[in-house]
Structure 1
Amino acid sequence: MYHVVIAVDEETERARRQARAVADLPSSDEEVRATLLHVFTENPDGASATQVGSVRRAEELLENVGVEVEIAERSGDPAPTVLDFAQSEDADCVCVGGRNRSPAGKAIFGSVSQSVILQADRPVLVTGGGEPE
């Protein structure tokens, strides 16, 4: 079974693109297992990843096409947390959602996807971004 960790933030359309990319993998309904990972940077209300709309939409899409899916949550700095989780789960691949950012946006905010790509010790699947932020 090929295990993909999908790092899902709050953006629903990005999460759907990620789920669709995993669902489109060959034999995904028989040979792919996905873990939707949401990393909370702040969670004063004690929310669960199952309460995050983007996680629920991605889960629905994957389940509808027959991909085995589970949900996980962690707290912390997103990029290293995603990488640590993927390693602890011995995931075969990490899926991140790209964002189409302006050069100023990249310089000011950085990029979780870029950090995961550059620091991962396993393959990283990057889905396309939407409009520039």
Structure 2
Amino acid sequence: MYEIVIGIDDNENRARIQAEEVLDMPFADETVHVTLQHTFQDAGEDHDIEDVAAVQQARETLTGGGLDVSLASSTGNPADGILDTADERDADLIVVAGRKRTPTGKVLFGSVTQRVVLDTDRPVLVCSGRDT
């Protein structure tokens, strides 16, 4: 079984693009399992990952393409959530969405994508932020 972890934020279009990129991979068949990981920023509140529209979008796209999908959620730092889930699932691939930011914006606001790429030894697919 080939395990993919996709970090999903709140943007439905980015989630759809990430799911479509996975489906376009030549090995995307019944031997692939995908975990959609979403991190809630505000700890202490009751959250349900099933209520996140972007997660719903990615799940519908992937299951419509015949892939098996699980959900995982966390609170706090999104990069930590993605990396922890990838470790827990022993992921073969992490998929994240890139966003255009100026160098100053990256310094001020950080970059989940950059941190995931730099803090893992697993392969990472960075999907284009096109149309977002």
**Aligned-CA RMSD value:** 1.6
Hey, which bits of structure 1, 4+ residues long, moved more than 6 A? none
Aligned-partner residue type, residue 63 of structure 2: E
- The equivalent of 1:69 in structure 2 is 69
Give identity over the alignment, percent. 44
- The equivalent of 1:122 in structure 2 is 122
How many Å apart are 1:76 and its aligned residue?
1.8
- The equivalent of 1:35 in structure 2 is 35
- The equivalent of 1:19 in structure 2 is 19
User: Secondary structure of 1:86's match?
Assistant: helix
- The equivalent of 1:50 in structure 2 is 50
Aligned-partner residue type, residue 26 of structure 1: P
How many Å apart are 1:89 and its aligned residue?
1.1
- The equivalent of 1:82 in structure 2 is 82
Aligned-partner residue type, residue 108 of structure 1: L
Task: Give the distance between the partners of 1:58 and 1:82, measured in 2 at CA.
Answer: 16
- The equivalent of 1:103 in structure 2 is 103
Task: Give the distance between the partners of 1:113 and 1:68, measured in 2 at CA.
Answer: 24
The one-character-per-residue Cα deviations of 1:97-119 (angstroms, maximum 9, x if unpaired) are 10011233222211000000011
Task: Give the distance between the partners of 1:41 and 1:91, measured in 2 at CA.
Answer: 23
8 A Cα contact 1:29 1:68, kept in partner: no
Task: Give the distance between the partners of 1:131 and 1:110, measured in 2 at CA.
Answer: 22
Q: How many residues align?
A: 132
Unaligned runs of 5+ in 1: none
The one-character-per-residue Cα deviations of 1:17-65 (angstroms, maximum 9, x if unpaired) are 1111111111312221100000111155412111000000000000111
Task: Give the distance between the partners of 2:23 and 2:73, measured in 1 at CA.
Answer: 21
The alignment's TM-score, normalised by the length of structure 1, stands at: 0.91
The alignment's TM-score, normalised by the length of structure 2, stands at: 0.92
